Amino acid sequence: MKEQIDSVLQKARQMLGAAQTMQDLEQVRVQLLGKKGELTGILKQLGKLSAEERPKMGQLANEVRGQIEAHIQEKTRELQEAALACRLQEETLDITMPAVRQPAGSLHPLSIVLNDMIDIFKSMGFDVVDGPEVETDYYNFEALNVPADHPARDMQDTFYLGDNLLLRTQTSAAQIRTMESRRPPIRMICPGRVYRADEVDATHSPVFHQVEGLVVDKGITMCDLKGTLEQFAREIYGKDAKIKFRPSFFPFTEPSVEVDVSCPKCGGAGHTAAGDCSVCKGSGWIEILGAGMVHPRVLSGCGIDPQVYSGFAFGIGLDRLTITKYKISDIRLIFENDLRFLEQF
Ligand code: PHE
């Protein structure tokens, strides 16, 4: 029996030496140590031995089993290590290689200026409202004191969408919606796109942007309008910026003004060392908005008593403001989304 047991150990060494995979190892375990395995088979014969021999053989068999198990374990570790080394080799990463950079993108110049404007007006207590770009004739014209046959309709060449619908020509439509839905005191701005059937050139686009402003309260005067816009101009263009009111006409404000700001490039002189200033074209001033005191008829149309309340409104040309602030020469650049242009901001 001792020889039989020894030969199992021999066999185990042979088989394990040749084993290449985990399956091979399992095969060894089953064939030699399993329930029907060779060593187990030998142990079943123990009963036939003498009482003296039996414990010796039993002990020997157990030792051999222990040795074989240890071998299998060792071999298992070897195979695992080899597999790991192989994987590490295959999956080598060169972490010193420079990565491909994702371009980060940037804000559109209009968004930068609009964000600034929102911050400025919020700090003065205004809130920001939104209005529809497809408007009814009523909100875009009628309620703003421009009846159907009024010559002022020609001031704005309108895209009509049907009998009653149009693309808003001015964010002023949002004044009416705000006064209908809220009671004074009102302090709001409404930024957004507006549309006019204009030919495209360096200063005109059929779609552009306005920021409407509206303040309604008791005792609001033209001084409040001027102070608000002066503060706004100083924050946008710098503390030396000046503004100038010119008399004008809008059907929904009385009196009405157009507001110029001193040219940010030449500081109002109209010329630089190189000659006439290219931003203000030599005048020293740039028109940036229309404004005025809300017409009493507009207030009462919205159910606000003009005997008790007064207000001012303004409409700022956002594209104009952006162009002058960044000294951009052509409004088309704002809409074409040429990355070489946009990446500069
Ligand atoms: N809505 C006017 C325009 O587009 C601007 C404006 C707004 C004027 C508010 C006065 C008051 O020309």
pLDDT digits (tens, 9 = 90+) for 62-97: 888 898 889 989 989 988 998 899 999 888 888 888
The per-residue pLDDT for 265 is 80
Side chain identity at residue 131, one-letter code? G
Rounded to whole angstroms, the Cα distance separating 132 from 111 reads 19
- Report whether residue 292 contacts ligand 1, using a CB cutoff of 6 Å: yes
The per-residue pLDDT for 232 is 95
Rounded to whole angstroms, the Cα distance separating 210 from 227 reads 20
The reported pTM is 0.71
CB-CB contact of 106 with 342 (8 Å)? yes
Rounded to whole angstroms, the Cα distance separating 121 from 115 reads 10
For residues 36, 42, 45, 47, the Cα torsion angle rounded to the nearest 10 degrees is -100
- Report whether residue 250 contacts ligand 1, using a CB cutoff of 6 Å: yes
Distance of CA 58 to the CA centre of its chain: 78
- Report whether residue 211 contacts ligand 1, using a CB cutoff of 6 Å: no
Q: Does a cis peptide bond (omega within 30 degrees of 0) precede residue 264?
A: no
> 160: which DSSP letter?
B
Side chain identity at residue 112, one-letter code? I
Backbone angles phi, psi at 72, to 5 degrees: -60, -45
Residue closest by Cα to atom 12 of ligand 1: 290
Euclidean distance between the first and the last CA atom of the chain, given in angstroms as a whole number: 91
Domain ranges of the chain: 2-90, 109-342
- Between the CA of 310 and the centroid of ligand 1 the distance, in Å, is 17
- Report whether residue 253 contacts ligand 1, using a CB cutoff of 6 Å: yes
CB-CB contact of 232 with 318 (8 Å)? no
| Residues 6 or more apart whose Cβ sits within 8 Å of residue 205 | 198, 319, 331, 332, 334, 335
- Report whether residue 158 contacts ligand 1, using a CB cutoff of 6 Å: no
Rounded to whole angstroms, the Cα distance separating 82 from 164 reads 80
Q: Which atom of ligand 1 is nearest to the CA of 169?
A: 4
- Report whether residue 290 contacts ligand 1, using a CB cutoff of 6 Å: yes
Q: Which atom of ligand 1 is nearest to the CA of 194?
A: 4
Distance of CA 278 to the CA centre of its chain: 35
CB-CB contact of 281 with 269 (8 Å)? no
Residue closest by Cα to atom 9 of ligand 1: 314
Q: pLDDT-derived band of residue 103, with 50, 70 and 90 as boundaries? A: confident
- For residue range 288-343, what is the model confidence (pLDDT) as tens digits? 999 999 999 999 999 999 999 999 999 999 998 998 888 887 888 999 989 999 98
- Between the CA of 292 and the centroid of ligand 1 the distance, in Å, is 8
CATH class of 109-342: alpha beta
Side chain identity at residue 126, one-letter code? F
CB-CB contact of 197 with 205 (8 Å)? no
Q: Which atom of ligand 1 is nearest to the CA of 256?
A: 10
CB-CB contact of 197 with 308 (8 Å)? no
- For residue range 105-128, what is the model confidence (pLDDT) as tens digits? 889 999 999 999 999 999 999 999
The per-residue pLDDT for 273 is 86
> What is the average pLDDT value for the chain, to the nearest integer?
91
> 155: which DSSP letter?
G
Q: Identify the residue whose tokens are 């185990």.
A: 12
Query: Between 2-18 and 53-90, two packed helices, what is the crossing angle to 10 degrees?
Result: 0
Q: Which atom of ligand 1 is nearest to the CA of 155?
A: 12
- Between the CA of 243 and the centroid of ligand 1 the distance, in Å, is 17
Task: Identify which of 139, 155, 171, 172 to mutate to test ligand 1's pocket (most ligand atoms within 8 A of the CB).
Answer: 172
Backbone angles phi, psi at 33, to 5 degrees: -110, -10
Side chain identity at residue 322, one-letter code? T
CB-CB contact of 265 with 145 (8 Å)? no
